Structure 1
Amino acid sequence: MPAPTAALCGRTGRRPTLEEVLDNLDNSDIDLSDSETESDEEKPYEPNNDDQDNSGDENDSNDDVGIDDESDKLGPSTSTATKQQQPEIKWRANRNKFEPNATWTGNFHLGDPLETPVKYFSKYFKPEIFQTFAEETNRYYFQQKGRNLRTTADEIRKFFGVSIIMANLHFPRIRMFWHRATRIDRIVDAMQVNRYFQLRKNVHINAAREPDTQNQNKFWKMQPVMDAVRNRCLELPREEYTAVDEQMIPFTGRVPAKQFIKNNPNPVGIKSFVICGSSGRALDFELFQGKGTGIPEETKHLGLGASVVLRLTESIPRQMNYKVCFDNYFTGMPLVRELKTKGIQVLGVDKVNRLKGCELKSDKDLKKEGHMGGVDKLDFLISLYRMKAKTKKWPVTVIFHFIDLALVNSWLEYRDIERANGSPRACILDLLGYRNEVADVLLRADLDAPPPDPRPVGRPRSSSPTPQAPDQAGPPHKRAKPAERPVQDVRYDGYRHFPACIKELGQRCKYEGCKSRSRVKCVKCEVFLCLSKDKNCFLAFHTK
């Protein structure tokens, strides 16, 4: 039969009052006594849209089932609704233990040790690139000033060597390296301060004013430097665990693509996507250039983060269960499925609030495993002795950054190879010692400058000084510090090693096994060596 309240609404055309509803219920044949339980059993509960999220609660059903339809038409219920609680999600472990086939089937071998530590750095910056620097720098200076800068590959090499030493010492001002009170002889002897600033202002690797019409690369001016470093990174063997993350090149001036990352040690600068092994060695990188960075057409539907990961993992062998780690910026199921088809395992970071109640490893435990900190380790090592330049020219900052990256990468390669070959820890150079040795080779190897004249210029001093009273005598003469042997790259390069004879008593011969004193000094190595008709330590010292 139709509901009495519905009939009343249809006759009067107005909303009935509570007294009229009660009178109609009394006059009707509906029995409300003890019908609550029966109606619950006979009529199944059908949840509406508001109850779908809380269908698991047992107390969500209405007590007045018999007048549920009527109360919906009459308006809001007079009873107070209880606040619904959020559902509690409980994760259950699968009874069948999940054991994925993630056994690594690749191999890892860095290679045999090289003759000297500097040889590792030479694989990133080969001698040919310094000649390109000299030619393009002269070309750029001629375009700007109409004159020739007359720089050479050796001067460019010395310029970078001086810059490395400056970064190692961290003086607050550059001119302090040439100041009388704080001067560094190695820097002062290599280059004048005004010449250094002139080279830093005009150094270029590509002096073209405009890029090619089909070139969409915003950093085309630095492409030769990036290619030189990246080619060596691609030659390095791949480790089982690699990590993809962002890296910032600090720079606050004008640049084609500048980024700001909040809560970053270097929040403003040029962003670079880097893939590193667990040791911290960079294996590949991609500079961020805005929309469309590293996104080919076949992966455009996956988005920027996934496309960058796929581009950086192109050099990883397929179907060998290599592991790639990345944070929540890149994590996504389409990327996981795409890497799964290539036989690459994924370790991605997700936010905790997206998996409520699921017990996962904490960030502290993941850092202890050492799989996801490769890029952070690389950033830390670069920041220790970063080559800084207060300049408005972004190419200088980018060049210095990739020199730092090459120094750290080559040092990690040198250190791990020496450890694998059982070299004593005391014989392995640390990062600072390695940088000093590279800088020393860049300053002294293959110099084009003529050797200094060993003969004194001007009127000779009197050999008989004026006698002084005992109470007026000066401090006692300190013994000269013996010279150190040069690095092997300078000692055996066979270039411009000239002997020079002095009048004073010389020092002990630096040739291994010789204990004689000599007055003959090598101009380039700055060590004393025997050179006579009976003994020729000079030739033996410079011959392998």
Structure 2
Amino acid sequence: MRIFIAILLMSGYNRVPDKRAYWEDCEDVHNPMVSRAMRKNRFLEISKFPHCAPNNDINEKDAMYKLRPLIAFLQRKFRDLMISKKYYDYDESMIPYYGPHGCKEFIRGKFIRVGYKACCLNASQGYLVDFDIYQGKSPEEKEDYGKKFGKCAAPLVHMLDRLPENVKTLPLMFYFDLFTGLNLLKELKSRGYGGTGTMRENRVPKDCSLKPVINMKKEARGSLDYRTSNDDVIIARWVDNSVVTVGSTVHGIEPVINATRYSQKHKKRIQVPRPNLFTQYNKNMGGTDRRDQNVSLYQISFRNKKWWWSIFIWLLDVSVCNAWMLARSTGDDVSQLTFRRTIVQTYLKRYGVAPMTPRVRPINVFSRVAMEIRYDNTGHYVAWIPNQKRRRCAYEYCSSSTRTECVKCDIGLCVGCFLDFHVYREY
């Protein structure tokens, strides 16, 4: 399995048009390191039958039951090995998949629009702390979370419950996207965490008398309107390229700094005043996007028809990406490509098993035809064997069964081996 995983990882930076190309004889695609570590047929057989859970133990309430043991193992490892940071972001990540499945989604505006949606909690540097493959209602999620915070925000609260005890007591800051609600911000504040996120217009409390979005669209870029609730939650609406609404429990309006924007009206770059909570949101919200970028650089390219295959290779890619970030945190300034190549080369060289060289029969020692007849170049013709029968090919370097034979020698010979068998060569 280590060799199998190493070959998958190699396909991310040494891409070939077909998974069988590594074992071809052509020098433009042949890879001697792969061919010496594992036979082609063995690799293809393993790629058909990998299992993370037994088929006789199906959990009908869990759509990801086939990968659940692997998912649970990686979730636990990612949390246990995480390096405590102050800023985290929670966002959606798309895993491309185009086949039929009930969990497949279409999200307009995403770079990958069709596939599985993964709810990810990332450090601002890109380390994946926790994740959950979205399937509507997770079997591990508490029912009241979905009713109180919404289906998109409920996994975040569940991930906070699973954080290590030494991390839960830290004053963490969380940033999230459009599913922000007042209940979520209050819950984070009650746990001692800060929360900041963009809000949809229908999630803004009705007693919060902000200017309507349709009215603020007519105002100049940089216009601002904000309110503060009784729970010290500030909700601000700011005009940028479009109207943006942000709620926060830790950041306020001040200090206001200038942001550079291009003005279509003035045909030049202008300075637009930007409140602090919008600045902090833009600064700390990119952890998931950074992780997606790192994974996309050298992601596994081998495809499979199984519905879970795309999630399986995504789990391998993010595991290597997390391991690379942990290595960099120790002071080892290694690139991701070098880190992946080191893993692949170590696995293939340490655990690879060289294929057995087929034994070749010595020439003419076991031949059933005398040399005087075999090489006399007279009267040798190829013909079909009567009654559709087969005979073993008599050529020393061939072990196939054939339907053709040599009439004079009375032995089975493939059409391709006929000339080589009757031409004498010095070896």
Fold shared by both chains (TM-score > 0.5): yes
Matched, 1:336 2:185: yes
Matched, 1:206 2:53: yes
Which structure shows the higher helix fraction?
1
1:290 pairs, out of 136, 139, 146, with 136
- The question of whether the paired residues in 1 share the 8 Å contact of 2:38 and 2:355 is answered with no
Normalising to structure 2: TM-score of the pair?
A: 0.61
Mapping of residues 158-307 of structure 1, within 5 Å: 158-179=3-24, 180-182=26-28, 183-212=30-59, 216-235=61-80, 236-291=82-137, 295-299=141-145, 300-307=147-154
Partner of 1:505: none
Looking at structure 1, the residues matched to 321 and 212 of structure 2 have their Cα atoms a distance apart, in angstroms, of: 38
Which amino acid is 2:191 matched to?
Answer: K
Unaligned segments of structure 1, at least 5 residues: 1-155, 420-427, 460-544
Which amino acid is 2:345 matched to?
Answer: D
- The question of whether the paired residues in 2 share the 8 Å contact of 1:293 and 1:304 is answered with no
Give the drift of 1:449.
Answer: 6.1
Change (3 A) 1:254 1:446: same
Which amino acid is 2:173 matched to?
Answer: K
Partner of 1:441: 346
- The question of whether the paired residues in 2 share the 8 Å contact of 1:200 and 1:396 is answered with no
Partner of 1:321: 171
Which amino acid is 2:307 matched to?
Answer: W
Looking at structure 2, the residues matched to 224 and 447 of structure 1 have their Cα atoms a distance apart, in angstroms, of: 27
- The question of whether the paired residues in 2 share the 8 Å contact of 1:292 and 1:304 is answered with no
Matched, 1:157 2:2: yes
2:199 pairs, out of 350, 368, 375, with 350
Pick the structure with greater CA Rg. 1
The structure with higher relative contact order (CA 8 Å, sep 6+) is: 2
Give the drift of 1:210.
Answer: 4.7
Give the drift of 1:255.
Answer: 3.0
Which amino acid is 2:295 matched to?
Answer: I
Stretch moving more, 335-344 or 258-267:
258-267
Looking at structure 2, the residues matched to 318 and 385 of structure 1 have their Cα atoms a distance apart, in angstroms, of: 33
Aligned residue for 1:397, secondary structure, equals helix
Change (3 A) 1:434 1:292: closer
- The question of whether the paired residues in 2 share the 8 Å contact of 1:282 and 1:409 is answered with yes
Change (3 A) 1:364 1:273: same
- The question of whether the paired residues in 1 share the 8 Å contact of 2:61 and 2:139 is answered with no
Partner of 1:396: 309
Which amino acid is 2:289 matched to?
Answer: D
Stretch moving more, 252-261 or 333-342:
252-261
CA RMSD of aligned residues (A): 3.0
Give the drift of 1:199.
Answer: 1.6
- The question of whether the paired residues in 2 share the 8 Å contact of 1:242 and 1:374 is answered with yes
1:406 pairs, out of 319, 325, 328, with 319
Aligned residue for 1:391, secondary structure, equals coil
Mapping of residues 53-64 of structure 1, within 5 Å: none
Matched, 1:373 2:286: yes
Which amino acid is 2:347 matched to?
Answer: L
Partner of 2:268: none
Give the drift of 1:402.
Answer: 0.7
Looking at structure 2, the residues matched to 366 and 342 of structure 1 have their Cα atoms a distance apart, in angstroms, of: 21
Give the drift of 1:452.
Answer: 8.6
Which amino acid is 1:321 matched to?
Answer: P
Aligned residue for 1:172, secondary structure, equals coil
Give the drift of 1:171.
Answer: 2.3
Change (3 A) 1:366 1:293: farther
Partner of 1:62: none
Give the drift of 1:249.
Answer: 1.3
Aligned residue for 1:171, secondary structure, equals coil
Looking at structure 2, the residues matched to 210 and 244 of structure 1 have their Cα atoms a distance apart, in angstroms, of: 32
Change (3 A) 1:162 1:303: same
Aligned residue for 1:286, secondary structure, equals strand
Normalising to structure 1: TM-score of the pair?
A: 0.49
- The question of whether the paired residues in 1 share the 8 Å contact of 2:181 and 2:199 is answered with no
Change (3 A) 1:294 1:363: farther
Mapping of residues 417-456 of structure 1, within 5 Å: 417-418=330-331, 428-447=333-352
State the 4+ residue runs in structure 1 displaced beyond 3 angstroms. Answer: 291-295, 316-320, 350-357, 359-368, 446-453, 456-459
Partner of 1:23: none
- The question of whether the paired residues in 2 share the 8 Å contact of 1:319 and 1:344 is answered with no
Change (3 A) 1:458 1:267: same
Identity %: 23
Change (3 A) 1:450 1:388: closer
C-alpha offsets along residues 351-409 of structure 1, whole Å, 9 cap, x if unaligned?
Answer: 6985644154499955763x111111111111111113332102322221111010000
Aligned residue for 2:53, secondary structure, equals coil
Mapping of residues 465-480 of structure 1, within 5 Å: none
Looking at structure 1, the residues matched to 49 and 347 of structure 2 have their Cα atoms a distance apart, in angstroms, of: 20
- The question of whether the paired residues in 2 share the 8 Å contact of 1:257 and 1:288 is answered with yes
Give the drift of 1:161.
Answer: 0.9
Change (3 A) 1:364 1:193: farther
Change (3 A) 1:301 1:294: farther
Looking at structure 1, the residues matched to 290 and 41 of structure 2 have their Cα atoms a distance apart, in angstroms, of: 36
1:386 pairs, out of 299, 304, 311, with 299
Looking at structure 1, the residues matched to 122 and 361 of structure 2 have their Cα atoms a distance apart, in angstroms, of: 57
Unaligned segments of structure 2, at least 5 residues: 202-210, 217-222, 225-237, 239-273, 364-427
